[in-house]
Amino acid sequence: MATRSLYCLLSQPLHLLHLLLFLLLLLAFMLPKTMSVAPGDDGTASYYVPPYERTECYGEGSSQFPESNFFAAVGDNLWDLGAACGREYEVRCISKAQSGPGPCKPGSDTIRVKVVDYALSVSSSAAAPKQSVTGADLVLSQIAFEAIANPSVDSINVELKEV
């Protein structure tokens, strides 16, 4: 009997329309509570200086670096057994000044960097002191770092989002 009355209810176009509207409203109210759009993950970034030579992702040669020279080596948290090669991240400095000039460059915006190296690789020039001392998630090219940070600091707090 219940199946038949449900069938009768759904066979009427107006009732079906009301049911669909009800379900859409229910969905509209529930989705924002179950899904959140995170602005990005927090991490740390440092930098390394030229010459940029061999990388863990692409070997040797300058063609592996983007024309903008905004690239990075990544630490263990982002390396993903090499799957990080070629990924791009939007990076924004979020460090707060303790006193004096802050670590973030005034008026700096988000930059986009391409992953070209593993910061902990023995053959990487990024593996040198900057990453191992700071434990940075990203080791940016010097040009990328200076686009968002005061070059007198060794590392900064960043918000990063894979794009």
CA distance 145 to 62: 19
CA distances from 80 to 77, 88, 115, 128, 134 (A): 7, 14, 12, 20, 20
Looking at beta carbons, which pairs linking 127-135 to residues 24 or more positions away fall under 8 Å? 127/73, 128/48, 130/46, 130/47, 130/48, 130/154, 130/155, 131/46, 131/48, 131/73, 131/75, 134/44, 134/46, 135/44, 135/75
Q: What's the pLDDT score for residue 50?
A: 87
Which tens digit of pLDDT belongs to each residue from 49-71?
Answer: 888 888 999 988 888 899 999 99
- Distance in angstroms between the alpha carbons of the first and the last residue of the chain: 54
Which amino acid is residue 93, in one-letter code? C
Which tens digit of pLDDT belongs to each residue from 9-52?
Answer: 556 665 555 655 555 444 455 544 333 334 689 999 999 888 88
Q: What's the pLDDT score for residue 49?
A: 87
pTM: 0.71
- Token code pair at residue 135: 């434990």
Question: What's the topology of domain 41-162?
Answer: Barwin-like endoglucanases (2.40.40)
Q: What's the pLDDT score for residue 144?
A: 97
Only one residue has tokens 């690239």, namely: 71
Which tens digit of pLDDT belongs to each residue from 112-155?
Answer: 999 999 988 766 666 555 444 457 899 999 999 999 999 889 89
- Give burial (CB, 10 Å; 0-12/13-18/19+) of 159: middle
Query: Domains of the chain: which residue ranges?
Result: 2-34, 41-162
Q: Decide which of 82 and 129 is more confident.
A: 82
- A 10 A CB-CB count for 89 gives 28
Q: Decide which of 130 and 98 is more confident.
A: 98
Q: What's the pLDDT score for residue 122?
A: 64
